[in-house]
Amino acid sequence: DAKTTQPNSMESNEEEPVHLPCNHSTISGTDYIHWYRQLPSQGPEYVIHGLTSNVNNRMASLAIAEDRKSSTLILHRATLRDAAVYYCILRGFNTGKLIFGQGTTLQVKP
């Protein structure tokens, strides 16, 4: 499974946008880009996923680079409840497995 690279931690102010980057230079043509987040002592929560085009849903937006070697998760207005570990994961078309990296710990300051 292709690997992703994310910053260990990021900080944001409440009600400001947050851009969480992810590098995946070894992505293959059939890998989907998934984002999950995990609050302490809880299971991961699905955020968004995409293949080539940018995606929007009620939680976030996903901007995918044209060469697909990087992507950015965008939280449009961070709230204190968005403080979590955010995982960027490539899901292989054949295996379908989600292999978690270390993720980015997002802190949101009031």
- Rounded least distance, CB 84 to another protein, Å: 13
- Judged by beta carbon, residue 22 or residue 36, the one nearer another protein is 36
- Rounded least distance, CB 85 to another protein, Å: 8
The CA R_g of the chain, rounded to the nearest whole Å, is: 13
Q: Round to the nearest angstrom and report the end-to-end CA distance of the chain.
A: 38
- Judged by beta carbon, residue 16 or residue 45, the one nearer another protein is 45
Given 18, 68, 90, 103, the residue binding another protein (CB under 8 A):
103
> Residue 62 and residue 33: Cα distance in Å, rounded?
9
| Bridging pattern class, strands 104-109 and 9-13 | parallel
Going through the chain in order, the beta strands assigned E by DSSP cover 9-13, 18-23, 32-38, 45-50, 55-56, 61-64, 70-75, 84-91, 104-109
Single out the segment in contact with another protein by CB under 8 A; choices: 11-19, 22-30, 37-45, 69-77.
Answer: 37-45
Q: Does 55 bind another protein (CB under 8 A)?
A: no
Given 46, 56, 77, 109, the residue binding another protein (CB under 8 A):
46
Binding site for another protein (CB under 8 A): 36, 38, 41-46, 49, 87, 91, 96-103
